Every structure is written in structure tokens, then in C-alpha cells.
Amino acid sequence: MVFDESHKLIDAARQMYSTVWDEQDAEFIVGLSEVNRRTTGMDELTVLRSQLAEYNRQIFGRLAGDLAGNHTREGGRIEIVIGSMEKIYMRHMAKALEQLPLSYQENSGQKMRMQGLKKRCQELTDKLTVFLNSGNAICWMEKRENGRLALCAVPMELEQVLFRDIWSRPIPVIITSGTMSVWGDFGHFKRMTGLSFAALSRIMETSKPSPFDFQSNGLLYIPERMPFPNIWDDSYIQAVMAEILQIVSATHGHTLILFTSYWLMERVFYGLKEQLSDYPLFLMGRGRLDVISSFRRSGNGVLFASDSAGEGIDLAGDILSSLIVVKLPFPVPDPVMEYQRNQYEDFDLYRRDIIIPEMLIKLRQWFGRGIRREKDTAVFSILDSRTSLCGRYRAEILNTLPTMPVTDRLMDVEDFIIRKKTDSYFMDKENAIA
């Protein structure tokens, strides 16, 4: 077996081994089991459909907490504990799901549709079984992009599950990624994916530096005047906008700006829209991958984007010659991370083993957008004060990123661009496209 882009393996595993019960699952079954014509046995089917809808409403209503209502922003997650009352509703729900297809067939006579209904009922019953036996699972409630709620569960010891299902099998495996190690060490990856349970004699590993000449073709700009990153502090936001404005001017556009917050991204975009009117500007919202193509054709555009543009996107050549990281991409706290945190008695150890490695891997992925070919040249900027000379994470970051010159002077950025770029780079948008 060959696993490429293996830094995504743990996220993929969480998706594959998770159980997601959407509140619309039961609503769909209720709609699917509707019968238009009334028969003598119709009352039983009506009662079952009504019960199913009510049990569903009760379960999600009792567990939703602060996620209930339209005021909550999508993407929110809260850890939940399934209590005895919720389990009673789930058992009643499972019983109704068992009886519903039989009652539907008696009242509709539609055998083909009954088979589809039976399959849907069994799928939901299987999900109920997971939550009824969730003692070894991390459970949470989340609000999906459509604004609806979903109950989710993933095994607590996922790394042991992965070892059992993948690494313990007598099949040779190649695992590869450009950002799988931290400081050349695979310890974090092996802990998170269960490879640490495998016999050392079975594992061979190697870590190679980037094949690109970052020393000659890259420049890392870290300003020393940035305040601590607090998106609710207006002075911080103003400092971010001022720095972005100067960097974009120094590099003549050709810039990708990566944010960890959609809210801050939109605030900065609209705050700078008029001041950056000389450049084609692009705002990449959730799922808007089509914006990448427009940015690529723009010649000297400026793209404001989130994590979705930080990996897996190839912007080779001069179109992306400046990459700005507004804030270090630390993982967002969620129920899975909270469970991991509880496994450590010492928070500093948790930060060393989990938080910092995940941030560094993400940062290296982001930096990988800047130089995609041997002749590419790019300026990399980090606007997070924790990377400055006295910053807490400067040493870890410089030891992780490819070796390149580091500066805190904008004039060095301007000089780098002038030295490394040809005359065509400085043409306006129309000439660049031509």
C-alpha cells in the first residue's frame, strides 16, 4: 500500500471512522415514508412517523446547548455526554425505525420504495447503536454549513484502531509526504497514527530537505513591530492592514495572504479594498476554489484566503511571489483536542507533543505554496509577533522552515523583488496576462 500526502492521514481517518448523525436523517425518513392515500391501517404508520420526528427533536434539542438557534455561527462544536434520558429516546427511536418499513409496506404496497426505506432505517439504527454504546468514543454536537445540527462520534483510541486495521497487517506500506516530519523527526506522526505500536524492526524512515534553493530564491520577512495577535483588538487589526499594504506595494502584488479566521480575513479585505485598488483583489470564501483560477489569470493579483488555499494548490511562476501568513496556524480547539489534552498531566508536554508539531506541519504546508519550481522566487512574510526576535516560537519555526535569509526590513523585500524578477513582472495586469 502507498499513502501519499500522509500528513492528511489522521484527518482522513477521523472522517472514515467517525459516525455522523444529522438531524435531517430522521426528517428524510419521515418524508420518505409518507403515504398519500388513506387506508385502514394508516393510523399506525402516522403514529410511527410522528414518534420518530418527536424523538429526533427531543434528542437534538436536549443536546444542542449553545448551538441551538439561528444566532450561532456555523462550524461551532461542543462536547456532549449522552445521558440516560437521551438513551431512552434513542431506544424508542430504534424501535420505531424497526417497525416503520413493515407498516409502510402494509399501507403503500410499494415494495421497491419499501426496500429503500428499510435501508435508510437500518443506517440510522446503526448510528443510534454507536451513540448508545459511546463509552469509548469522543462525542460532540456541531452545526453544519447548512445551519443544521449533527451528532458526531469518533473512537477515543483511534491510533490503536489504525494500528489494528493497517499497520499490523503483513503488507508492505510506503508512507510519504512533504510535511510529515517535525525537525526531521516522525515521532508526532507515529504517535497520532498508531505507527508507534509497530515493531521498530519493521520501520525504515528517512527525511530529506526541500530540493528547491530557498537560500537563493527565498526571503523570510518577519517585522518586529507587530502587536500580539488578538483579532478582537482593533490596534492589532490596524497593524495587520498597515503591514499587508506595505508588503503588497513592495512586491507589486502577486500575493497570497493566508488567514486563520474568516472574520479577520473579511475585515482586512474590506478595510484595504480601496487602498489596494491598483491590484486585482480576490476574496476566497468557504469552498470558493474557482477564485484560484481567477487569481492565476490576474497577473499581479492579491488573494485573501483561508486554510483551504494553504495546501494542495499549485501556483507556480511569478503569479505567487509573495506569501503572507497573518497568524501562526495553531490547531483550533475542538472535542478531540480536548480529549488529547486530558491525556496529559502537564500542559507544556501537551503543547510540545501535539499543538506545536501540528502548527509547524501546517505552516510548512502553507510555505509550500510559495516556491513550486526550481526557478521560482518568493518572499515569505509572517506577521505574528510570536515569531519575532523575542518571540516564543521563533527557534522552532526557523528550524522547521527551509533555510533562507531572514529580515525585518521592508527595503530588503523591495530589493529582493527587484533583483529576482524580470521586467515583465512589473507590468500592469493587461500586459502580464498578454
* Backbone dihedral region for residue 246 (phi beyond 0: left; psi -120 to 50: alpha; all else: beta): alpha
Number of continuous H segments (helices) and E segments (strands) in the chain: 17, 13
pLDDT value for 141: 92
Rounded CA-CA distance 166/308 in Å is 28
Calculate the alpha carbon distances from 277 to 75, 94, 253 in Å: 32, 59, 11
CA–CA gap between residue 369 and residue 178 (Å, rounded): 12
pLDDT in tens, 252-303: 999 999 999 989 999 999 999 999 999 999 998 776 667 888 998 888 999 9
| 267, burial (CB in 10 Å: exposed 0-12, middle 13-18, buried 19+) | middle
Helix, strand, or coil (residue 370): coil
- CA dist 258 and 271 (Å) reads 16
DSSP helix/strand/coil, 305: strand
Please answer whether residues 13 and 158 qualify as being in contact, where contact means their C-beta atoms are separated by less than 8 angstroms: yes
For 424: left if phi > 0, alpha if psi spans -120 to 50, otherwise beta; the answer is alpha
What pLDDT score does 292 carry?
A: 87
- Rounded-to-integer distance, Cα 281 and Cα 302, Å: 5
Which regions of 119-234 does DSSP assign to beta strands (E)?
137-143, 149-155, 174-175, 218-221
pLDDT digits (tens, 9 = 90+) for 50-100: 999 999 999 999 998 877 765 555 457 888 899 999 999 999 999 999 999
Return d(Cα 248, Cα 253) in angstroms, integer: 5
Name the pTM for this structure.
0.84
pLDDT computed for residue 69 by the predictor: 65
Please, what are the domains in the chain?
9-155 (1.10.275), 158-202 (no CATH), 214-433 (3.40.50.300)
Cβ-based neighbours of 418, under 8 Å, separated by 6 or more: none
Beta strands in 310-433 (DSSP E): 322-325, 378-382, 406-407
Interatomic CA distance for residues 76 and 254, integer angstroms: 34
Q: At what angle do helices 234-251 and 410-420 cross, to 10 degrees?
A: 30
Report residues of the chain scoring pLDDT below 70: 36-42, 69-75, 109, 112, 287-289, 428-434
> Which bin fits 362, alpha (ψ -120 to 50), beta or left (φ > 0)?
alpha
Cell (9 digits) for 78? 461542543
